[in-house]
């Protein structure tokens, strides 16, 4: 089953409607609606890999060079609007390595290239300038993005309506 077909039965609005109890207790959270939609997959989901960087994308590349296995990279870029953390080359790398998607609390660039990639991408905005290359940041740690604490290994569900974070894989 293709990812889009899988997600068709997991519309975020439907997930919220059918999971009111775990939404109320915090096991299912909705990210604030601050992200723009990029990439060919408007709907995607998978287990989360976390990364915290600021205006430096060396660790982004390091993680995207590993097998994605349908996971979603969630990058806390500190909300910086001064440079891009992901560009067309990294979007293509993510697709080639089997990542389901990338969520960036920051900017991307090479929007036309990213929009041709067969993954889902969410970011605050686009910015033409590339990031620093110092290799500073932290992988696999809890991060705070769009009003929610996100832990490595939680599940992300995204579609045109929004992004959900779940403590466990959902079954409807």
What tens-digit pLDDT sequence spans the chain (172 residues)?
A: 333 434 445 799 999 999 999 999 999 999 999 999 999 999 999 999 999 999 999 999 999 999 999 999 999 999 999 999 999 999 999 999 999 999 999 999 999 999 999 999 999 999 999 999 999 999 999 999 999 999 999 999 999 999 999 999 987 5
* Residue 52 covered by a domain: yes
Q: In this structure, what CATH number is given to the domain that contains residue 44?
A: 3.50.30.40
Q: Do 38 and 116 meet the contact criterion of CB atoms below 8 Å apart?
A: no
* Residue 16 covered by a domain: yes
* Residue 92 covered by a domain: yes
Q: 147 labelled as ligand-binding?
A: no
* Residue 105 covered by a domain: yes
* Residue 172 covered by a domain: no
The domain of 84 spans 3-166
* Residue 171 covered by a domain: no
Q: 109 labelled as ligand-binding?
A: yes
Q: 91 labelled as ligand-binding?
A: no
pTM score, two decimals? 0.93
The tally of domains found in the chain comes to 1
The SS3 of residue 115 is: helix
Q: 61 labelled as ligand-binding?
A: no
Q: 161 labelled as ligand-binding?
A: no
Q: 89 labelled as ligand-binding?
A: yes
């Amino acid at each position: 089953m293709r990812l889009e077909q899988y997600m068709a039965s997991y519309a975020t609005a439907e997930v919220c409607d059918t999971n009111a109890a775990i939404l109320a207790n915090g096991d299912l959270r909705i990210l604030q609606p601050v992200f723009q939609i990029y990439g060919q997959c408007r709907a995607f989901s998978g287990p989360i890999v976390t990364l915290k960087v600021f205006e430096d994308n060396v660790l982004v590349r390091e993680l995207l060079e590993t097998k994605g296995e349908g996971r979603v990279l969630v990058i806390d870029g500190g909300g910086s609007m001064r440079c891009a953390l992901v560009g067309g080359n990294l979007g293509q790398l993510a697709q080639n390595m089997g990542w389901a998607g990338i969520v960036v609390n920051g900017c991307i660039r090479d929007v036309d290239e990213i929009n041709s990639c067969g993954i889902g991408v969410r970011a605050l905005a686009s910015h033409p300038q590339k990031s620093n290359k110092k290799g500073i940041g932290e992988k696999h740690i809890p991060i705070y993005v769009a009003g929610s604490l996100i832990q490595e290994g939680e599940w992300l569900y995204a579609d045109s309506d929004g992004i959900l974070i779940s403590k466990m894989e959902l079954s409807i």
